[in-house]
Structure 1
């Protein structure tokens, strides 16, 4: 099921939009603040962001942040239909726009079109806080800096990003990456150590996200929390 995140200043429109999307079996999430937007994109599977900018400064700020976290399309809702306003929004990061007041038929058509485009990308790419894994070309980059990973390192990173906030045991990683049982668990630790090192070289905060769960395995945390817990950073 597709999920759409909506952040609109016009509260009266929310109930109508929710009803429209529900009929199309599209999950609808609402944000009430910039903080909500960031939290949901980091912790939910979002396929499209619909945003009504209350000011150009807020629009630029949120667009920039969303694009560093994910490559999901952004649909801008705007009351200004003059050429300059639309171009400014598109240059700021929007992928499409719709004029307010929202026409329901046009809104649904644009939602579906953007979800179709997003679907073709999301199958082959994983995005996380500026980190991009292209599973078609086996390429990895962080904030446009390419990263050279071995096949096993790439597969480990893919596995972690596909199972965020879940503890993965060394045995599970062996079966998924190596495909057989009898591999020394120290082999897993060695490859993960190398993966950490390479991600550090491009300044990705790997130690804030990939934690060792002592006695179990590893977990990829979506939020880079610093407080003490049962999960620890490891070399």
Structure 2
């Protein structure tokens, strides 16, 4: 399920978009001002942002600039009534990927969502996400929101296995075989020890627990 962040200050339009996107099967987070929108974008690491240009406190254009400056590559679609060529150029130069005018056609908006999400998934198959957790297989970088998490080699292998199989219960035997190898003959409590290490690092800023214990079976990465 792709996560969409909608940053829109018109309450009725924001609610309409939320209901329409949920109906299409997206997970939707809605915020109504620029400052909260920027903070939420950094916190939840969405798959796509639908961003109104004219927002209270910080404009959509400034949000684009700040996200791109921070290194974010999330697809951003600007939603606005501004239809001058100079406005479109300014939006794209600020870092937006696309531009749609109000009033808009819902099927067209959804088609653009699908195109950008498909392109985003194709561009970086090594980048894995779950909620606000991200892992890059190529660089071995792990983040919770914008916070970098330093992992040992074994911690990373365990984390990669969990995030590669989100919401799937992984048995202790599966984890042992995948992370430690079929011929592992060490401490039978090794998985519990390393899950505790990961939880301490993932929750060091009092974040919600996402590695859940399934008693008598194993572990699962879920809300």
Q: Over aligned residue pairs, what C-alpha RMSD do you find?
A: 4.5
Residues 1-235 of structure 1: matches in 2 within 5 Å?
Answer: 1-33=1-33, 34-39=35-40, 41-43=42-44, 46-54=46-54, 58-67=59-68, 68=70, 70-121=72-123, 123-126=125-128, 133=136, 135=137, 138-139=138-139, 155=157, 158=160, 175-180=177-182, 182=184, 216-219=196-199, 225=205
Aligned equivalents of 1:52, 1:12: Cα separation in 2: 13
SS at match of 1:77: strand
Structure 1 residue 27, shift from structure 2 partner:
2.3
The SS at the match of 1:9 is coil
**Structure 1: how far apart are the matches of 2:2 and 2:129?**
16
SS at match of 2:199: strand
| SS in structure 2 of the partner of residue 216 of structure 1 | helix
Alignment check: 8 A CA contact 2:49 2:77 kept: yes
User: How many pairs does the alignment contain?
Assistant: 191
| Deviation (angstroms), 1:8 | 0.8
TM-score (structure 2 length as normaliser): 0.61
Structure 2 runs not aligned, ≥5 long: 143-151, 167-172, 207-223
* Structure 1 residue ranges without an equivalent (≥5): 143-149, 165-170, 189-212, 227-235
Q: Per-residue deviation at 1:98?
A: 0.3
Provide the C-alpha distance between the structure 2 equivalents of 1:120 and 1:105, rounded to a whole number of angstroms: 22
Mean alpha-carbon deviation: is it higher for 80-89 or for 62-71? 62-71
Cα distance, 1:91–1:40 mapped onto 2, change above 3 Å = closer
| TM-score, scaled to structure 1 | 0.58
CA distances 1:54-78 after superposition (whole Å, capped 9, x unpaired) = 2696334422443436422011112
CA apart distance, 1:139: 3.9
